[in-house]
């Protein structure tokens, strides 16, 4: 079957790489808890950031291109992107993705800016292989989070949902993701025929891009009792397919808190969002490690920062 991606790749020894891309910022208008997010320029400036960062999952589309070259159709059946975000990307900056096969079902991947700064470090896997976040999550679960002031009402094992997780082509995805899939596809860094053309898709319906799986998992929020107003940012993200995820098919999602912690600037928590079909069969998992800036919460004790 012909490669459905329109972008091209190059090889140097055992490394496959894509082209330089300029990701679009589509979350300028994102709001939650009645205020704008870190993706708003003024909010980002107030937190001491160099600019409003592009949402991390946007870079997953550049990895999709490389993963398909290595794993073929299986990528859209059991493919998993597991990523630790290292540096923010501001709209106008260019990004290139790289990958190296390290096993039958595993590749290591990364993305860089033109100045050499690493954007993310990731694993690309199929068939339920171990991922780069397996160790990071395990370490977070073993560490005492200390005294918490923003996420102190969360508890390990706390769940919310189920919520609707159906992704359609033209429906906007709420305040968290104020755009439709059709709008995303007009600016996606790596266009793919299967994202919009049901006739060419092996499953007779368009497939959901990896970067939109996190939208499916969190577009309505997870309804967890995080204190606010406060502003968050993705630290780690993993999206794992267990079967092809298709546009317009009815799914639901349940969220579970699986770890909590903090660093100098943020309190953070891990959630696993399980997407299932109408029969209760597992379709995909979204593992998200989200940081909440201490400086964004007005009630944060100065002595604790």
Report the pLDDT value the prediction gives residue 232, as an integer from 0 to 100: 82
| Mean per-residue pLDDT, 274-289 | 97
- For residue 100, being part of any structural domain is answered with yes
CATH number at residue 292: 3.10.129.10
Residue 1 maps to a domain: no
DSSP string covering 119-145: EEEEEEE-TT---HHHHHHHHHHHS--
253 in a domain, yes or no? yes
Structural domains counted in the chain:
1
d(CA 163, CA 242): 19
For residue 39, what pLDDT band results from cuts at 50, 70 and 90?
very low
- What integer is the mean pLDDT of 50-63? 85
Rounded mean pLDDT, 30-44: 46
pLDDT in tens, 222-272: 688 999 888 888 899 999 999 999 999 999 999 999 999 999 999 999 999
Q: Could you tell me if residue 87 is inside a domain?
A: yes
Residue 46 has pLDDT above 60, yes or no: no
Domain that holds residue 126: 10-304
Cross-strand bridge partners of residue 177: 173
């Amino acid at each position: 079957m012909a490669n459905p991606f329109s972008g091209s790749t190059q090889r140097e020894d055992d490394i496959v790489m894509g082209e330089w891309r300029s990701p679009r910022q589509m979350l300028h208008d994102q709001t939650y808890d009645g205020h704008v997010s870190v993706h708003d320029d003024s909010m980002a400036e107030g937190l001491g950031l160099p600019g409003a960062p592009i949402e991390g999952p946007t870079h997953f589309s550049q990895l999709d291109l490389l993963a398909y070259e290595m794993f073929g159709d299986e990528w859209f059946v059991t493919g998993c992107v597991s990523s630790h975000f290292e540096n923010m990307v501001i709209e106008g900056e260019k990004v290139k993705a790289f990958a190296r096969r390290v096993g039958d079902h595993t590749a290591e991947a990364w993305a860089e800016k033109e100045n050499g700064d690493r954007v993310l470090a990731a694993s690309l896997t199929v068939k339920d292989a171990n991922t780069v976040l397996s160790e990071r999550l395990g370490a977070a679960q073993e560490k005492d989070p200390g005294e918490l002031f923003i996420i102190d009402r969360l508890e390990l094992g706390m769940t919310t949902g189920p919520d609707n997780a159906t992704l359609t082509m033209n429906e906007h995805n709420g305040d968290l993701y104020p755009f439709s899939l059709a709008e995303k596809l007009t600016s996606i860094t790596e266009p793919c025929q299967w994202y919009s053309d049901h006739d060419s898709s092996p499953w007779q319906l368009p497939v959901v891009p990896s970067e939109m799986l996190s939208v499916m998992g969190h577009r309505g929020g997870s309804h967890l009792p995080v204190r606010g107003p406060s502003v968050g940012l993705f630290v780690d993200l993993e999206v794992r397919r267990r079967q092809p995820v298709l546009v317009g098919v009815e799914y639901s999602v349940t969220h579970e808190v699986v770890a909590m912690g903090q660093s100098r600037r943020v309190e953070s928590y891990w959630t696993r969002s399980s997407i299932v079909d109408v029969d209760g069969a597992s379709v995909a998992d979204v593992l998200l490690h989200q940081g909440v800036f201490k400086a964004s919460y007005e009630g944060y004790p100065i002595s604790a920062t």
